[in-house]
Amino acid sequence: MSELEIRKEIIEICLKMEKIGLNQGTSGNISHRYKDGLLITPSGIAYEELKPQDIAFVPFSDKKNFKGKYPPSSELDFHFDLLVAKPEINCVLHNHSTYATSIATCQKEIPPYHYMVAVAGGKKIPCTSYATFGTKELSNSIIKTLQGYSACLIANHGVVTVAKDLKKALWLAIEVENLARGYIHAKTIGEPVVLDDKEMDKILEKFKNYGLKKTK
């Protein structure tokens, strides 16, 4: 993809997140690897007002030396650090979806009450330890929690998903929110029965070929 195509897709995914309720206003942020750096949504600009030239470029050589009309997202640290630490991914998507964030405020994970938790790459949707937004401590906490996973809850904050492309990152974010909603509803009836490790091992094996196979 060209730089312009990536900038346009970032805005497209931002608008989709808002339309389906994963984010509201200026909450959340998106980044995409590009050449020797990353393209990231700017700080404090409403999605519907974004234009391709508003997306900031941050070189991996110096995160303070950004290029753009507006400064990059206040969560630049964890976007930057994840893309450096995980060369297998190209995109980081962060949102404040209602149900997943509700669980995150309890600093709890989503257990394997449903086999679909395997979409995140493991036997649960993990939750980070708490750290103030926009800090290196938060970045470190997210990187630690995402070891072996492609999605996690951020304590008292929201959700982050990582993927090779933005469509997959958005798909994961939607799945996490669906799982969170289902878990909260199930808890109103009783204590959900969780699948054991043996069953989750079988599911994870099946999930090696599950999900989005190809995106443009």
Question: What average pLDDT does the segment 152-171 reach?
Answer: 97
Asked if residue 103 belongs to a domain, the reply is yes
How many CB atoms within 10 Å of residue 162?
A: 27
Asked if residue 31 belongs to a domain, the reply is yes
Is the pLDDT confidence value at 211 over 60? no
The strand order across the sheet containing 151-154 reads 56-59, 37-40, 29-34, 91-95, 158-163, 151-154
For residue 26, what pLDDT is reported? 72
Please give the angle made by the CA atoms of 43, 77 and 44, to the nearest 5 degrees.
Answer: 10
Asked if residue 158 belongs to a domain, the reply is yes
Asked if residue 216 belongs to a domain, the reply is no
The pair of three-digit structure tokens given for residue 205, joined into one six-digit string: 């094996």
Asked if residue 214 belongs to a domain, the reply is no
pLDDT category of residue 215 using cuts at 50, 70 and 90: very low
pLDDT in tens, 98-115: 999 999 999 999 999 999
Asked if residue 215 belongs to a domain, the reply is no
Residues forming the active site: 75
Task: Give the predicted TM-score (pTM) of the model.
Answer: 0.93
Least confident stretch, 30-39, 46-55, 154-163: 46-55
CATH number at residue 59: 3.40.225.10
Asked if residue 28 belongs to a domain, the reply is yes
H-assigned helices in 41-115: 76-85, 98-105
Q: How far apart are CA 131 and CA 37, in angstroms?
A: 25
Contact 34/60 with Cβ under 8 angstroms? no
The pair of three-digit structure tokens given for residue 82, joined into one six-digit string: 């994840």
How many CB atoms within 10 Å of residue 136?
A: 12
pLDDT in tens, 162-197: 999 999 999 999 999 999 999 999 999 999 999 999
As for how many domains the chain has, the answer is 1
Q: How far apart are CA 39 and CA 58, in angstroms?
A: 6
What range defines the domain where residue 78 resides? Answer: 3-209
